[in-house]
């Protein structure tokens, strides 16, 4: 397996005036869950501001009320997966600071899929952090051009264009991205978008370790003019991807839209935070949605 190794040596936390002050992975300073819930009561917009919350161990949500942005803290820097919208970038940067980090402590910027609600703020975060953008070949064209590619079911729909940004490193399916002790594995799971990518790693709080899966969106969403039935090869690819999601090493699932996996209900204790069938259950919802979409299309002939 190929490996992308990025070795960065960070100084210990100095005075508040230091330009980069990454402490050890713990403790950081997230907001209480109740504060997040109060800020997001009745809100789930892509850019609605939310305070940072710890999910488990070194994994934090620094995104908005409606969009997950993950920060994974390590011993030689932090990795961030997704960037929400351009309008949300100031909130994300403020959340990094609220945790006790400086933006320059972020060394890697990764993505789930190449839509404006998840990578629209990537260019702004890249400028503010100086981090390297790492993406798959399927993600790269849209990230750099700022719009979905021609094969995207949502191209030409309601997704707005966004500021593109250069991809610093292209990785392959199954490649492990490392940053100090962090080891994040990319899994190509195309369907919701051509470049949909899920990420897995292990995080530990003391002796309690969890296999974490940031499983990309599995919904069969498209423009009104797009018919999945007319693209059988894409449907086959989508089904293979759903099987891959089901097979991810996964005790703790997190999704780009937190409501898709009931993340905040689980953090509040209303539902179990972890489950040995979490990714299988999530993939099953995707299969049901895709099947239902194909059935509806079959009833309405073009």
Residue 78's domain comprises 24-299
Task: For residue 236, tell me if it sits in a domain.
Answer: yes
Arithmetic mean of pLDDT, 256-266: 98
At residue 300, the pLDDT reads 87
Arithmetic mean of pLDDT, 165-188: 98
Task: For residue 7, tell me if it sits in a domain.
Answer: no
Task: For residue 251, tell me if it sits in a domain.
Answer: yes
Task: For residue 5, tell me if it sits in a domain.
Answer: no
At residue 25, the pLDDT reads 53
Domain count, the chain: 1
Q: What percent of the chain has pLDDT over 90?
A: 89
Arithmetic mean of pLDDT, 208-235: 97
* pLDDT of 22 strictly over 60: no
At residue 7, the pLDDT reads 34
Task: For residue 2, tell me if it sits in a domain.
Answer: no
Task: For residue 19, tell me if it sits in a domain.
Answer: no
Task: For residue 1, tell me if it sits in a domain.
Answer: no
Average pLDDT, the chain: 92
* pLDDT of 131 strictly over 50: yes
At residue 16, the pLDDT reads 29
Question: What confidence category does residue 6 fall into, taking pLDDT thresholds of 50, 70 and 90?
Answer: very low
- Tens digit of each residue's pLDDT (9 = 90 or more) over 88-106: 999 999 999 999 999 999 9
The whole-angstrom separation of Cα 80 and Cα 53 is: 14
**CATH code, domain with 171:** 3.60.15.10
Q: What does the block give as tokens for 204?
A: 């530990």
More confident residue, 50 or 3: 50
- Tens digit of each residue's pLDDT (9 = 90 or more) over 26-76: 569 999 999 999 999 999 999 999 999 999 999 999 999 999 999 999 999
* pLDDT of 14 strictly over 70: no
Task: For residue 15, tell me if it sits in a domain.
Answer: no
Arithmetic mean of pLDDT, 152-174: 96
């Amino acid at each position: 397996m190929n490996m992308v190794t990025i070795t960065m040596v960070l100084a210990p936390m100095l005075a508040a005036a230091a330009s980069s002050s990454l402490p050890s992975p713990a403790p950081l300073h997230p907001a209480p869950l109740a504060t997040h819930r109060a800020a997001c009561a009745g809100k789930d917009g892509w850019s609605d501001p939310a305070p940072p919350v710890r999910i488990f161990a070194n994994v934090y949500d620094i995104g908005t009320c409606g969009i997950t942005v993950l920060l994974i803290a390590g011993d030689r820097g932090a990795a961030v997966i997704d960037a929400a919208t351009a309008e949300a970038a100031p909130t994300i940067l403020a959340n990094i600071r609220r945790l006790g980090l400086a933006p320059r402590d972020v060394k890697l910027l990764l993505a789930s899929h190449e839509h404006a609600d998840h990578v629209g703020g990537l260019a702004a975060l890249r400028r503010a952090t100086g981090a390297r953008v790492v993406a798959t070949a399927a993600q790269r064209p849209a990230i750099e051009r700022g719009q979905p590619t021609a094969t995207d079911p949502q191209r030409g729909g309601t997704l707005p264009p966004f500021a593109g940004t250069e991809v610093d490193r292209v990785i392959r399916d199954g490649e492990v991205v490392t940053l100090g002790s962090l080891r994040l594995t990319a899994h190509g799971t195309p369907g919701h978008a051509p470049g949909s990518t899920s990420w897995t790693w292990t995080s530990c709080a003391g002796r309690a370790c969890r296999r974490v899966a940031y499983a990309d969106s599995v919904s069969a969403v498209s423009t009104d003019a797009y018919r999945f039935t007319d693209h059988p090869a894409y449907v086959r690819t989508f089904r293979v991807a759903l099987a891959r999601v089901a097979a991810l090493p996964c005790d703790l699932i997190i999704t780009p839209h937190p409501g898709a996996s009931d993340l905040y209900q689980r953090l509040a204790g209303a539902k179990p935070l972890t489950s040995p069938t979490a990714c299988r259950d999530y993939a099953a919802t995707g299969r049901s949605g895709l099947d239902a979409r194909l059935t509806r299309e079959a009833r309405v002939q073009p």
